Amino acid sequence: MKNYILKLWQGFFTIMIGMKVTFRHLFIPAVTIQYPTVRPEMPERERNRLYVNMDDCIGCDICARACPVNCIDIETVKSVPGEDLGITTNGKKKALWVTTFDIDIAKCCYCELCVFPCPTDCIYMTDVYEFSEFERDNFIYDFVTLTPDEKEEKKKNREEFMIKKESEKAATAKMKAEEEAAKKNENVTKSKNNTDDKPEENKE
Q: Which residues bind ligand SF4 (CB under 6 A)?
A: 50, 52, 57-63, 66-67, 69, 71-72, 74, 103, 108-114, 118-120, 122-123
75: Cβ contacts below 8 Å, ≥ 6 apart: 98, 99, 100
Closest alpha carbon to 90 in 126, 55, 45, 51: 55
Nearest-approach distance from CB 133 to ligand SF4, in angstroms = 17
Q: Which is nearer to ligand SF4, 110 or 129 (CB)?
A: 110
Nearest-approach distance from CB 158 to ligand SF4, in angstroms = 18
Half-sphere exposure at residue 53, Cβ-oriented, CA atoms within 13 angstroms: 15
Q: Which is nearer to ligand SF4, 80 or 115 (CB)?
A: 115
Q: Which is nearer to ligand SF4, 70 or 185 (CB)?
A: 70
Nearest-approach distance from CB 98 to ligand SF4, in angstroms = 7
117: Cβ contacts below 8 Å, ≥ 6 apart: 62, 63, 66
Closest alpha carbon to 107 in 55, 50, 53: 50
Q: Which is nearer to ligand SF4, 111 or 163 (CB)?
A: 111
Asked whether 122 and 128 are in contact (CB, 8 A), the reply is no
Nearest-approach distance from CB 75 to ligand SF4, in angstroms = 11
